Chain A
């Protein structure tokens, strides 16, 4: 196999040729490095890379380990010891991580090699990766379009064969939406399935770390290593971790798939609707039973999400005060001036906007009206899913109502940007698991085709069933094998 083919491989494919010694881990890192140097200036998927550290890890890699010698790109909100951690923000200054996130500890112990930190919306706040303090990331399928967000760098890197696989984080769709818009597989695990220790906190009750990959099998292989209880994260779940990759193949006959009525209303791009209908018909042809279902509080989920997420963010981001780490404004006249200018100069516009909204909904006199009310509706959203999963095994919907939009198109209109997350936020409110897999292309959005993603949702800790349904679709279609011409 020629070095130029290596970056396009899946984890499963790369494992095979590493174990037969057809290639060495060093050759894989070299090949990825070469392609990133050549291609990434057009995409902007990466914020930093440490070639020497990756080569050193490659030289001692044990390819017999579950992920031995497999390089992984890491969203730059996740700590990798001694590497920069920017969160896409100016306010972290020249911060370098002092420890590995628990997922990074586990992936390293399984033989994986962290290689490169990927671009994101500042503090994971955004749906387009335009809110990065450093540069936007471009969609590899059409470089005038956004890659989605906030894990846009992680999605674009996998789609453009600039990474074998990557890690992202999902607070309201930040793994699934960019996976859909870039044509890759993105998994949001059940809340608590994967430790959050070492993920910079944005909205602690909503977010989690998950993989972005070229196949469902790769997603299962990574979750296998990442999942499990962690003493460093009191919200991580004690539940046993099944062998996800061993039981991917199932017969879909008798499996009940729900189609939520509320997700099919006006506002969906016609080509997205066509792709969804085709995916549903395909599942039907595989023997699955399709059941129309109702999630009555769907329309309210986006409002609930932006109240709760910004409230939690306003508290979590209070730690950025310019005292112990990161950026500090020059020559403060007193402590108030120090705080206010450090934060004014260090945070970008979207982060400021969310701190203001979050502070407001928590403030005296408005707490009951906004935050408490949103928490109550969150209960209703959760009950909707509980009722639905009594009738069906999984739910199907588009991941995003539209294919990738143009850079700048929604940047000036936060409400429109927020509505990009309309199909993904409910899963975070309910803490269930979800995956986005490629299910077609939009042809009418300009001269180049744009990927469309299918979202599959399963109940909490239902990752096994989620992978099985996704894998059955994937193995009988070829959307996931398409790559942009780069």
Chain B
């Protein structure tokens, strides 16, 4: 498989994850090995095979649209890294 196309630095940007130069180089080598192992999947003829997204194909599951107990505002904020005035404090979005 075309594991040579794996650009770890680029993918890390997509995943919103900073990597050090050492991590980037290490993952590049290690994941190329994992993808090379997975190249065996190319041997199979999958022309007429349906993909399986799930272990047990489930049809849509519906429930009544009724309110159920949920977290209080105090509970929802309890684990926040920063909170004030009953709100989450977030990093500035607009420059």
Contact = CB atoms under 8 A, between A and B. Distances in A.
A337 B90 CA distance: 12
Contact of A325 (B2, B15, B80, B91): B80
Contacts of B79: 93-96, 98, 324-326
Contacts of B88: 323-324
Contacts of B27: 352-353, 356
Interface string A57-101: 000000000000000000000000000000000000111101100
Interface string A336-365: 111111011001010011011101100101
B14 A359 contact: yes
B44 A460 contact: no
Contacts of B14: 359, 363
Interface string B52-95: 11111010010100000001000110111110000010111101
Contacts of A318: 16
A352 B30 contact: no
A377 B44 contact: yes
A375 B44 contact: no
Contacts of B78: 96, 98
Nearest to A92: B79
Contact of B34 (A321, A340, A418): A418
Contact of B12 (A205, A356, A376): A356
Contacts of A307: 38
Interface residues of B, number: 52
Interface in A264-314: 297, 299-300, 302-304, 306-307, 314
A154 interface: no
Contacts of B42: 373
A373 B52 CA distance: 10
Interface stretch (A21-29, A113-121, A123-131, A424-432): A424-432
B38 A376 contact: no
Interface in A226-244: 231, 234-235, 237
Interface residues of A, number: 77
A343 B16 contact: yes
A3 interface: no
Nearest to A314: B15
B38 to A, nearest CB: 4
Contacts of A191: 55-56
A380 B52 CA distance: 9
B49 to A, nearest CB: 4
A335 B49 contact: no
Question: Interface residues of A: mostly helix, strand, loop or mixed?
Answer: helix
B50 A376 contact: yes
A298 to B, nearest CB: 12
Contact of B38 (A234, A297, A306, A328): A306
B5 A429 contact: no
A234 B58 contact: yes
A431 B6 CA distance: 30
A35 to B, nearest CB: 32
B55 A326 contact: no
Contacts of B16: 318, 321, 336, 339-340, 343
A210 interface: no
A304 B41 contact: yes
B11 to A, nearest CB: 5
B38 A375 contact: no
A451 interface: no
Contacts of A303: 37-38, 40-41
A344 B18 contact: yes
A467 interface: no
A353 B30 contact: yes
Interface of B: 1-2, 5-6, 8, 11-12, 14-19, 23, 27, 30-31, 33-35, 37-38, 40-42, 44, 46, 49-56, 58, 61, 63, 71, 75-76, 78-82, 88, 90-93, 95
30 contacts: A98-B79, A234-B61, A303-B40, A304-B41, A306-B38, A321-B16, A322-B81, A324-B79, A326-B81, A334-B92, A335-B90, A341-B18, A343-B17, A343-B18, A344-B17, A349-B23, A353-B31, A356-B12, A356-B27, A359-B15, A360-B11, A370-B1, A373-B41, A376-B49, A378-B51, A379-B51, A382-B52, A415-B34, A431-B55, A460-B56
What are the 6 A-B residue pairs with the smallest beta carbon separation, nearest first?
Answer: A431-B55, A375-B51, A325-B79, A328-B81, A344-B18, A191-B55
